[in-house]
């Protein structure tokens, strides 16, 4: 045993002696040979793996994990925020649909939130910019014109009714803004600032988690409607500032996100408004676009004539991009559309089918209809929607479509915002990420529909946002 340690000690001393006898030139040579390998290894995303393979691994992870992974190092952050990663995700089929929700708090401030339906994790987006270019704010104009009569129509009264406060235009730079989502980004368009309608457009990039200003619209608009066709963002109608006050718009324009440029679209004819029986009605009733949904490769725009506080539904018009022209909406489609709910998002296309939520003034009596193109008629598919009616809310309920299912966003009896999914009863246990409807919030029940007991509701997610009201929502696929 002693001889073993003696030999080992001798070998150890001999090794240290050899190391100490290495010449400086030899040491530098060895350093030059080994350093590039060490540097190369340390610069990789995952040690001992090529970055190409690491990218494939990262692309398979849930997107919610990227929030922490981007904190690992600068290279990880650059990878997480690179377009290359999301191209790989698309190739692998690991893209995800997230819900983006716009709310308004008790101080009339707007806030964006995102929801990952799989993890049920809510996140708050960075605040929207709170300034507008000087040329668009037109500080010389007074808010007095906001309350003027516009050719006998109290348009401002309609808008003031939406807001509930006369001075909200000064407090909310994006009051009356329109919302759209295209090419994986969120867009906020127009609205009011300093009692003037704005042209500006802001883009939120979920990958970079930042807001940026893009090319402004041709016209200042508030309460306009948006829709997506062929990966382009269309904007129609709304109101704009005229010499005497607010004027309803018939114009339309389209934004190409690949070039960040706007192009004009033929104005809506509002043909029904041209055939009113008397000049008095034509002078008094003004046309307004009350919604927009992309359906079957065209833009469907329900319309109304109004003179505050009266609304008259007049069907609508459809824009066909192939002919670059408007045609009158089929009578059945126009008559069944809930056009009077101009301040809400009540129509959506899911799996190629056009749905609309038809609310009622009484509690828990809303119903969902689907449009039958062959018969030109709306048919009730869900006879009772579990919503808690809120007469003082701007948008007490919203519709959204993701994961191939129809969803309703509303508030429960506890005033929590809930995302509800309409599902078939035989798929009730198919998703572990959802929770059942508790008796303390929204009662679980099948719907009295054409399909009898086929539909049940699941709570995808819920959260207490205090006194915040729903404003709008979009779904982005990344």
- pLDDT tens-digit profile of 302-335? 988 876 666 677 889 999 999 999 999 999 998 8
**477 inside domain:** no
Write the pLDDT tens digit of every residue in 404-417: 999 999 988 888 99
Same domain, 285 and 351: no
Three-state DSSP class for residue 386: coil
Same domain, 348 and 335: no
**What was the pLDDT predicted at 9?**
44
**202 inside domain:** yes
Average pLDDT over residues 345-364: 80
255 has a pLDDT exceeding 90:
yes
**What was the pLDDT predicted at 476?**
96
- Label residue 232 by pLDDT band (50, 70, 90): very high
**What was the pLDDT predicted at 360?**
63
Average pLDDT over residues 286-304: 90
Measured CA to CA, the distance from residue 472 to residue 180 in angstroms comes to 10
27 has a pLDDT exceeding 80:
no
- Please give the C-alpha separations between residue 32 and each of 16, 20, 21, in angstroms, as whole numbers: 22, 19, 19
**162 inside domain:** yes
Same domain, 362 and 447: yes
**121 inside domain:** no
Same domain, 46 and 195: no
Same domain, 229 and 152: yes
Please identify, among 340, 355, 389, the residue that sits at the C-terminal boundary of a domain: 340
Please identify, among 72, 92, 112, the residue that sits at the C-terminal boundary of a domain: 92
Q: Report residue 436 CA to chain centroid gap.
A: 26
Q: Which domain holds residue 280?
A: 126-340
Task: State the pairing for strand pair 417-424/405-411.
Answer: antiparallel
**What was the pLDDT predicted at 443?**
42
Measured CA to CA, the distance from residue 251 to residue 388 in angstroms comes to 36
Could you tell me what percent of the chain has a pLDDT over 70?
67
The first and second tokens of residue 142, run together, are 């007074």
- The enclosing domain of 55 has a CATH number of 1.20.1280
**What was the pLDDT predicted at 428?**
42
Could you tell me what percent of the chain has a pLDDT over 90?
48
> Are the CB atoms for 224 and 199 separated by under 8 Å?
no
Write the pLDDT tens digit of every residue in 163-189: 334 444 444 567 889 999 999 999 999
Burial class (CB in 10 A: 0-12, 13-18, 19+), 203: buried
Count of the separate structural domains present in the chain: 3
Same domain, 360 and 330: no
446 has a pLDDT exceeding 90:
no
Closest CA to 410 of 392, 389, 438: 389
Same domain, 274 and 302: yes
**What was the pLDDT predicted at 151?**
31
**18 inside domain:** no
280 has a pLDDT exceeding 80:
no
Average pLDDT over residues 265-284: 74
**What was the pLDDT predicted at 247?**
85
Write the pLDDT tens digit of every residue in 58-103: 999 999 999 999 999 999 999 999 999 999 999 999 999 999 999 9
267 has a pLDDT exceeding 90:
yes
- Please give the C-alpha separations between residue 448 and each of 73, 325, 340, 455, in angstroms, as whole numbers: 55, 41, 25, 8
Please identify, among 316, 340, 364, the residue that sits at the C-terminal boundary of a domain: 340
Same domain, 267 and 360: no
**118 inside domain:** no
253 has a pLDDT exceeding 80:
yes
Same domain, 376 and 459: yes
- Label residue 403 by pLDDT band (50, 70, 90): very high
Average pLDDT over residues 139-146: 36
Same domain, 316 and 408: no
**What was the pLDDT predicted at 2?**
45
- Label residue 336 by pLDDT band (50, 70, 90): confident
Higher-confidence position of 129 and 322: 322
Instruction: Point out which residues pair with 310 in neighbouring strands.
Output: 307
Q: What is the mean pLDDT of the chain?
A: 77
The first and second tokens of residue 147, run together, are 């309350």
**175 inside domain:** yes
Three-state DSSP class for residue 244: coil
**8 inside domain:** no
Write the pLDDT tens digit of every residue in 355-380: 998 876 555 567 899 999 999 999 99
Same domain, 76 and 164: no
Same domain, 357 and 330: no
């Amino acid at each position: 045993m002693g001889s073993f340690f003696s030999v080992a000690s001798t070998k150890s001393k001999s090794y240290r002696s050899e190391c100490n006898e290495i010449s400086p030139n030899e040491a530098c040579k060895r350093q030059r040979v080994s350093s590039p390998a060490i540097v190369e290894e340390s610069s990789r995303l995952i040690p001992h793996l090529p970055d190409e393979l690491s990218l494939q691994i990262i692309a398979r992870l849930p997107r919610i994990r990227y929030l922490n992974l981007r904190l690992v190092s600068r290279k990880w952050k650059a990878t997480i925020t690179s377009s290359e990663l999301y191209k790989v995700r698309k190739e692998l089929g690991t893209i995800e649909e997230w819900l983006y929700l716009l709310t308004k708090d008790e101080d009339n401030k707007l806030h964006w939130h995102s929801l990952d339906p799989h993890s049920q994790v809510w996140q708050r987006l960075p605040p929207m910019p709170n300034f507008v270019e000087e040329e668009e704010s037109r500080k010389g104009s007074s808010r007095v014109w906001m309350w003027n009569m516009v050719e006998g129509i109290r348009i401002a009264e309609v808008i003031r009714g939406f807001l509930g406060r006369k001075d909200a235009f000064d407090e909310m730079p994006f009051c009356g803004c329109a919302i759209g989502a295209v090419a994986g980004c969120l867009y906020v368009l127009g609205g009011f600032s300093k009692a003037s309608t704005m042209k500006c457009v802001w883009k939120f990039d979920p990958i970079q988690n930042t807001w940026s200003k893009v090319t402004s619209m041709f016209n200042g608009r508030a309460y306009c409607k948006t829709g997506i066709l062929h990966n382009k963002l269309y904007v129609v109608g709304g109101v704009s500032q005229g010499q005497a006050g607010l004027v309803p718009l018939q114009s339309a324009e389209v934004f190409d996100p690949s070039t960040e440029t706007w192009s004009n679209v033929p104005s809506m004819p509002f043909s029904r408004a041209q055939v009113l029986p008397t000049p008095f009605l034509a002078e008094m009733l003004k046309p307004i676009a009350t919604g927009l949904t992309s359906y079957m490769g065209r833009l469907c725009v329900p319309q109304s004539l109004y003179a505050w506080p009266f609304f008259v539904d007049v069907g609508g018009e459809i824009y066909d991009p192939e002919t670059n022209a408007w045609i009158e909406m089929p009578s059945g489609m126009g008559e069944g559309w809930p056009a009077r709910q101009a301040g809400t998002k009540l129509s959506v296309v899911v799996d190629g089918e056009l749905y609309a939520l038809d609310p009622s003034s009484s509690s828990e009596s809303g119903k969902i209809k689907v449009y039958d193109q062959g018969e030109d008629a709306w048919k009730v598919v869900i006879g009772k929607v579990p919503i808690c009616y809120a007469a003082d809310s701007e948008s007490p309920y919203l519709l959204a479509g993701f994961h191939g299912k129809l969803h309703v966003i509303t508030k429960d009896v506890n005033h929590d915002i809930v995302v509800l999914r309409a599902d078939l009863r035989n798929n009730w246990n198919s998703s572990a990420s959802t929770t059942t409807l508790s008796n303390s919030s929204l009662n679980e029940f099948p719907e009295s529909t054409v399909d009898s007991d086929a539909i049940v509701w699941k709570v995808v997610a819920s959260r207490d946002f205090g006194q915040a009201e729903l404003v709008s929502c979009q779904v982005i696929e990344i």
